[in-house]
Structure 1
Amino acid sequence: MITFRQKGDFSKLTRFLERAKETVHLGDLDQYGRAGVAALASATPVDSGETAQSWYYEITNKKGFVSISFHNSNIQNGVPIAIILQYGHGTGTGGWVAGRDYINPAIRPIFDQIANDAWKEVTKT
């Protein structure tokens, strides 16, 4: 049998969670979105430059939930070009063009910055 006893209140935990909830503001996400688009555009392999110029972001704000997502609008014949550059694709003659992991290394520093900034805000005293 496991028993828990508690003295006092949860005011510190409640304050921590309230600050965590308010940490990421939409304006901050807009800043991170612009930085993410710039990072993805500069890391995208360039032939015509269309894929690099086609990055954009969306901020979703629902009750108790905020997210930022990155997208690329360059789609040719139903094929998202950014994805085949990332993962590779077959050719019309049976060959294979290897992909190149450019998305993850480009966007990782942006996600790290979001996490670091949120942690700093939450742990302010």
Structure 2
Amino acid sequence: MISFRQKGDFHKLTRYLERVEEVARIGDLDKYGRQGVAALASATPRDTGKTANSWNYEIKQEKGSVSISFYNTNIQNGVPIAIILQYGHGTRNGGWVQGRDYINPAIQPIFDEIVKSAWKEVTSL
């Protein structure tokens, strides 16, 4: 006669597998982050190219959620250049330079792909 006895539970294994799953999802966001930066850089109006080359992204993981944020580091005299290109700005002589909506059209396809991927994952469970 052969018998087995098991003591304890699989809590540590379960936690490990949950962390592995989270890392896989962050890897997906990393892919979308790189794609978003490339899309924003190519859509950014160019003079010197500094603003276009200053796009970055950050992935934040908090309990129960993960987020991705895009930001531009080109700031001149306290003014974020990407924002004034987007929304417009006043000039020294009282004129106005009209902004150009380049951020939303550039990043929307990336957001659509994230939603599509998330929906596919949810419906495949």
Aligned pairs for 1:29-108 within 5 A: 29-108=29-108
Please give the per-residue CA displacement for 1:13-32, whole angstroms capped at 9, x wherever unaligned.
Answer: xxxxxxxx96x700000000
**Structure index of larger Rg:** 2
Alignment coverage as a number of residue pairs: 104
TM-score by length of 1: 0.80
Q: Which residue pairs with 2:25 in the alignment?
A: 25
Question: How far is the alpha carbon of 1:122 from its aligned partner?
Answer: 1.0
Q: Could you list the per-position Cα deviations for residues 86-114 of structure 1 after superposition, in whole angstroms to 9, with x for gaps in the alignment?
A: 00000000000000000000000000000
SS in 2 for 1:42: helix
| 5+ residue gaps, structure 2 | 1-20
The runs of at least 4 aligned residues of structure 1 exceeding 4 Å deviation read none
Per the TM alignment, residue 124 of structure 1 is displaced from its structure 2 partner at its CA by: 1.1
TM-score by length of 2: 0.80
Report the residue type matching 1:32 in the other structure.
Answer: Y
Q: Deviations over 1:31-64 (max 9, x none)?
A: 0000000000000000000000000000000101
Q: Which has the higher contact order (CA 8 A, sep 6+)?
A: 1
Equivalents in 2 of 1:88, 1:122: separation in Å? 40
Residue type at the aligned position of 1:59: I
Report matched runs for 1:108-123 at 5 Å: 108-123=108-123
- Structure 1 unaligned regions, length at least 5: 1-20
What is the identity, as a one-letter code, of the residue corresponding to 1:102?
A: Y
SS of structure 1 residue aligned to 2:45: coil
Distance of 1:101 and 1:69 partners within structure 2: 18
Q: Secondary structure at the match of 1:68?
A: strand
